[in-house]
Homo-oligomer: A and B are copies of this chain.
Amino acid sequence: MAEHRVVSTRQVFRGRLLDVHVDRVLEPSGREVEREIIRHPGAAVILALTAERNVLFVRQYRHAVAETLIEVPAGTLDPGESPEETARRELVEETGFYPRHLEKLADFYPSPGVLEERMHLYFATDLERRSPLPDEDESLEILEIPLDEALALKVGADVRDAKTILALFFLRMRTS
């Protein structure tokens, strides 16, 4: 496809997390369209398996969907940070486990219609137990779920977070 060109960009909201822009985009056809997008630096997502073959999850209330969800650990890239560095930092912050081994599984976009965020999914093993460093703005419960039970979690019922469903599909492929 030919190139799309940004004609103008206008920041309409800048919050603590969200950075919303309205862009005018010139399509290859010559048509100009308006696009509302949420800028995002990207995130690392960590599927972590302990030496005891437990999978690490966090449970937290998510106000955007008004539900408490079970998710795999994840976090936003800090400025200048590589996705792999984020994966190591976030796993130890959220769960207290430092991954000595990380393997990239996939990259994906959770919501490419509106959200710039790219997620980098890692498989973390050879974990070293340290102490969690909880974000004071987050209330997280850490779950260590045996591999068999993790694989038996029901998609759409027990697990409703897309990145976590994806991680569980990869886990099934890696451990079957």
Contact = CB atoms under 8 A, between A and B. Distances in A.
B64 A108 contact: no
B63 A109 contact: no
Nearest to A62: B112
Contacts of A38: 18, 38, 64, 114
Interface residues of A, number: 56
| Identical subunits present | 2
Interface in A37-85: 37-38, 61-69, 71
Given A23-B63, A36-B18, A1 B160 contact: no
Contacts of A139: 27, 29
B116 A65 contact: yes
A13 B25 CA distance: 20
A34 B13 contact: no
16 contacts: A1-B68, A4-B63, A15-B22, A18-B38, A23-B63, A35-B64, A38-B114, A64-B111, A65-B109, A65-B112, A67-B112, A106-B156, A106-B165, A111-B111, A162-B163, A169-B169
